[in-house]
């Protein structure tokens, strides 16, 4: 998932019983107004709206995390932050996005998945501190978004079809997946030649002679 897609998730998007995540929106920041600056809008493209399946490991993590969040809600009680979605329309009256606003009201209440212990929703900012540790203490130069490329490369090397990988990533064209998300290493390129040699069952040295 794209970074904005991950942190736009609500618990209504996650079906733990059927192990499916529905991806149909993204989150982005605007200038802070009153009590929040985060907005939910449509995904990057029409093809980006999709469903992805939850593997056993992710199922276990999400289930435990949901229980932990419920525990925090009980601990903080009324101090736990709650949010609603406010419709934002353009000058023609068309709904274009939703603003995430802190409120105790139950009308249009939204249960964001990724929040701080006290319920504060900080959109994609929630990963800033962890990635500072990754960068400066572990010395790993990467972004959260780069995990998409790792997923694509590992999946392809494991025998998955490029078309299936593209659909999971939300790409309409497999060319996008191939060009921007599949990485190639010296080891991979050597493997191509070695596989060709095995396929034809020839001895390279004898062929040269």
Domain membership of residue 134 (yes or no) is no
Chain-centroid distance of CA 141 in Å reads 19
Residues 104 and 203 in one domain: no
Q: Which residue has the tokens 């962890």?
A: 130
Residues 74 and 170 in one domain: no
Residues 108 and 44 in one domain: yes
d(CA 9, CA 85): 13
CA angle 149, 152, 158 (to 5 degrees): 140
Residues 208 and 109 in one domain: no
> Which CATH number goes with the domain that contains 29?
1.10.443.10
Distances (CA, A) of 17 to 62, 110, 171, 203: 12, 20, 27, 54
Residues 106 and 17 in one domain: yes
Q: Which residue has the tokens 């130069």?
A: 141
Domain region containing 49? 3-122
Domain membership of residue 128 (yes or no) is no
Domain membership of residue 209 (yes or no) is yes
CA angle 78, 13, 91 (to 5 degrees): 85
Identify the segments of the chain with pLDDT beneath 70.
32-35, 45-47, 180, 182-209
- Write down the pLDDT at residue 180: 65
Residues 75 and 8 in one domain: yes
Residues 111 and 17 in one domain: yes
Residue ending a domain, choose from 122, 153, 172: 122
Residues 33 and 115 in one domain: yes
Q: Please count the structural domains in the chain.
A: 2
Element (H or E) spanning 129, and its range?
helix 128-132
- Write down the pLDDT at residue 113: 97
CA trace torsion 43, 49, 50, 54 (10° rounding): 30
- Write down the pLDDT at residue 171: 83
pTM for the whole structure:
0.79
- Write down the pLDDT at residue 145: 85
Which structure tokens are listed for 131? 């990635």
- Write down the pLDDT at residue 195: 54
Distances (CA, A) of 11 to 29, 35, 128, 148: 21, 22, 22, 22
Domain membership of residue 139 (yes or no) is no
């Amino acid at each position: 998932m794209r970074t904005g897609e991950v942190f736009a998730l609500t618990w209504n998007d996650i079906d733990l019983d059927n192990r499916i995540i529905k991806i149909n929106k993204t989150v982005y920041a605007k200038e802070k107004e009153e009590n929040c600056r985060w907005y939910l809008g449509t995904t990057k493209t029409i093809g980006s709206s999709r469903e992805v399946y939850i593997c056993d490991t992710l199922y276990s993590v999400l289930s435990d995390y949901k229980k932990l969040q419920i525990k925090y809600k009980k601990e903080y009680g009324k101090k736990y932050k709650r949010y609603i979605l406010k419709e934002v329309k353009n000058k023609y009256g068309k709904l274009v996005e939703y603003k995430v606003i802190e409120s105790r009201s139950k009308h249009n209440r939204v249960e964001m998945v990724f929040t701080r212990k006290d319920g504060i929703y900080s959109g994609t900012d929630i990963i800033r501190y962890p990635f500072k540790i990754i960068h400066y203490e572990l010395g790993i130069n990467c972004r959260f978004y780069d995990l998409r490329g790792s997923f694509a490369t590992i999946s392809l090397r494991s025998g998955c079809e490029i078309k299936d990988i593209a659909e999971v990533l939300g790409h309409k064209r497999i060319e996008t997946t191939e060009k921007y998300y599949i990485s190639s290493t010296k080891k991979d390129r050597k493997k191509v030649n070695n596989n060709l040699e095995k396929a034809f069952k020839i001895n390279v040295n004898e062929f040269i002679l």
